Structure 1
């Protein structure tokens, strides 16, 4: 059974969140917190600052994680149709995706954080109400995925968690480079 066949479940009928789902979402919430925490007390300008030799900035990292989480949540429901065919992307497509990694003119840190909160809320709701975390979808075409591999909703959620944790670490380094503030320690 695919995920799209199982997502008609009524949220009002969902049992209280316990066990594995609760554990997974609590861990994801912890990593989201650390990522968001790196932006505390910053201005919009500071959120867009490239403070290391990397192209990364705090606002851009949060935009990227938001986009990735939203894309993978859509993948859980709609499968590879929710993702681009990475093997057919042009240079212009890649440049447009790069905009997810930077603060653009007119964007605010508050707006970026609000967008992230909305994506997180949707993912949490999906995971809480999804009838089966074992439901799978074939991966989209990309040079970094093996041929005909399928991922379960559980594996996608673990991927979202890993991506969030990795970028929270990047964000901590960037924040410390801006003003010496640390997320931990």
Structure 2
């Protein structure tokens, strides 16, 4: 396939730039360092990579297939002392579990990114899908593929900032400055 131009090239360039900044925050870390939660939050670098990979994959599937079934969770009345399995699974998405490695989640993210890049290069950017029924989305709203890819740029960029703070807290290394 020829390299995309115009809008597609801009989307790909932005995604790749922010992915590189994000992945730069985990360069040279051990699995143990990638599991550290050095700030007031419960975020760790390995978990962030895992989350961003999962989220990008979910949005790419959304572009092609529309909304996935959502877990049956009443988000307003969760008993946090005994949350449902869907909530526990979501929490684990933000952790690098003992059986996982940083290299493994980085490889997953890189495969996911390549698949998304192929999608950006080929999909109708005006194709529209209804957003899932969830409390964080406007009821009845839909997004174009273009809007999804812009959201991925924003999501990746935001998490690159989180990751930068975590990395600086671990060993003082910063991606900029």
Correspondence 1:7-86 to 2 at 5 A: 15-80=2-67, 82-85=68-71
Question: 1:142 and 1:57, CA in 2 relative to 1: closer, same or farther beyond 3 A?
Answer: same
SS in 2 for 1:101: coil
User: Structure 1 residue 169 and structure 2 residue 152: aligned?
Assistant: no
2:95 aligns with one of 86, 89, 102: 102
Check conservation: 2:63, 2:148, Cα contact below 8 A.
yes
Residue of structure 2 in register with 1:183 after alignment: 175
Q: d(CA) in 1 for partners of 2:63 and 2:18? A: 20
User: Structure 1 residue 116 and structure 2 residue 109: aligned?
Assistant: yes
How many residue pairs match? The answer is: 170
What is the Cα-based RMSD across aligned positions, in Å? 1.5
Q: d(CA) in 2 for partners of 1:88 and 1:28? A: 33
Moved over 3 A (4+): 85-90
Structure 2 gaps, min length 5 = 76-82
Q: What whole-Å deviation, never above 9, does each CA across 1:15-73 have from its counterpart, x for those lacking one?
A: 53100000011011111001100011110100111111111000000100001000000
SS in 1 for 2:143: strand
Question: 1:149 and 1:86, CA in 2 relative to 1: closer, same or farther beyond 3 A?
Answer: farther
Residue of structure 1 in register with 2:134 after alignment: 142
